Amino acid sequence: MTRFTAVFLSLALAAGTLAAGEYDSLVGAIKKSWPQCQSVAVVCDANGSKAALAALTSATGGMKLLVVDVRGPQDMGKAIAALTGRKPDAVILLSGDHVAGDGSNAAGFLIKRMAEIKVPTAAITEAGAKQGAALAIGSGTGGKLMCNAKVAAVAGVAVPAGANSI
């Protein structure tokens, strides 16, 4: 049993390291493109996204990370209210989250509401950029820096230098 636990723990740590690379490049692009960004938020099912949250926490070293826990789309109104009150500098979409991940209706709602209050969103997939994330980079973008210039303008942030516009 102890051996199984050690193997499972090693695999979990390795998976976290792989995912951290995704978020390392995203957080690096956020810091470079928006140097005023000191706090980021994520809306997700915290229980279902533990590995991604651990990787994101590791990548955001030095930045404040606000996690808004939602169980389903019905919680998005409360999440928007919490974010409006706290007003983070950016919101990061977790691509694998079953509630507010890239491509979901909840993510689209979140992106729109955040842009309205001048808070940009960022993602690690091309789908996130197409949906409205102002910045995206990761294996889901083929390693390319992408942006949604229209949403970046609404959110009041600069288009990242060298980004492919969607």
Domains and CATH numbers, the chain: 19-165 (3.40.50.2300)
Determine how β-strand 135-140 pairs with β-strand 146-147. Answer: antiparallel
Total-model pTM: 0.86
Instruction: For residue 125, list its beta bridge partners.
Output: 140
Question: What are 21-72's pLDDT values in tens digits?
Answer: 779 999 999 999 999 999 999 999 999 999 999 999 999 988 999 999 999 9
Strand ranges (E), 36-108: 39-44, 64-69, 90-92
Give percent of the chain above pLDDT 90: 80
Task: Using the structure block, give the residue that is written with the tokens 């951290």.
Answer: 20
**pLDDT for residue 4 is more than 50:** no
Sheet architecture: strand order including 90-92: 64-69, 39-44, 90-92, 121-125, 135-140, 146-147, 164-165
**pLDDT for residue 143 is more than 60:** yes
pLDDT at 13: 46
What is the C-alpha to C-alpha distance for residues 45 and 76, in angstroms, rounded to an integer?
11
pLDDT at 139: 85
The mean pLDDT value for 97-118 works out to 95
